[in-house]
Amino acid sequence: MSDVLRTALVQEASGLDPAANRARLAELTPSDTDLVVWPEAFARDFGEAGSDVSAYAEPVTGEFATELGRVADECRTTLVAGQFETSADPARPFNTLVVRGATTAAYRKVHLYDSFGYRESDRLLAGDPAPVVVTVAGWAVGLMTCYDLRFPEMARLLVDAGAEVLVVPAAWVAGPRKVDHWRTLARARAIENTTYVLAAGQPAPRYTGHSIVVDPLGGVVAEAGDDAEVLRADLSREVLDEARRTNPSLRNRRL
């Protein structure tokens, strides 16, 4: 078990060419980390609102996940990144996070973005709400995607399953108050669950940027701006343990 988890959030825009997106995995993944978080749908962007993305869906053994695993092995780290995954419905794939490196997992987005004028459920299929928690360098890491951040019960399911870090890859669409919502919700999920939050978004102008790392008492450890960048932060087990001693809200719950 490591006392420090070395992390990086890659705030990079995915394009409409899957091969070009795959190539950037090797270009931008740092090699001196334990965990690298890429945005939602990095394998191929959503395209215009309401676009049919089924032609770009792959299994989690496909080209994107294979390259993700190769880069993870080469850089000796664990990678999390988003893709569209084939499902039993050929017209509606899953919006999936793939984990490769020290551990292998897949998380299919539960809460589809039927909000702010969008209808993600018209084009994508929701996943099973069972929590997905993986172990990275001795830390328990729970997986969420974008709109899931607005549902506190989702984060609590992950924490009840042991999560100490919540990882939230996103393509948080830009608009009025959206950066404020993003920052506020990331801090709220950290505070109410006494967990670290690593929320990695795609940059402006289409998305909000502002990838953020929040500590278990709600302090902002690091935050990106609007543009593409790689945000780094070291997570401390001492800080996590002290936060849970100071604010034992998980123990104080009455159900």
Catalytic site positions: 40, 109, 146
DSSP letter at 43? S
Distances (CA, A) of 80 to 5, 184, 210, 223, 252: 15, 23, 18, 19, 32
Q: In Å, how far are 104, 121, 130, 131, 158 from 154, measured between CA atoms?
A: 21, 18, 9, 8, 7
Per DSSP, helices labelled H in 44-177 are: 63-75, 152-160
84 three-state secondary structure:
strand
3-class SS of residue 135: strand
CA dihedral sign, ordered 8, 81, 183, 241: negative
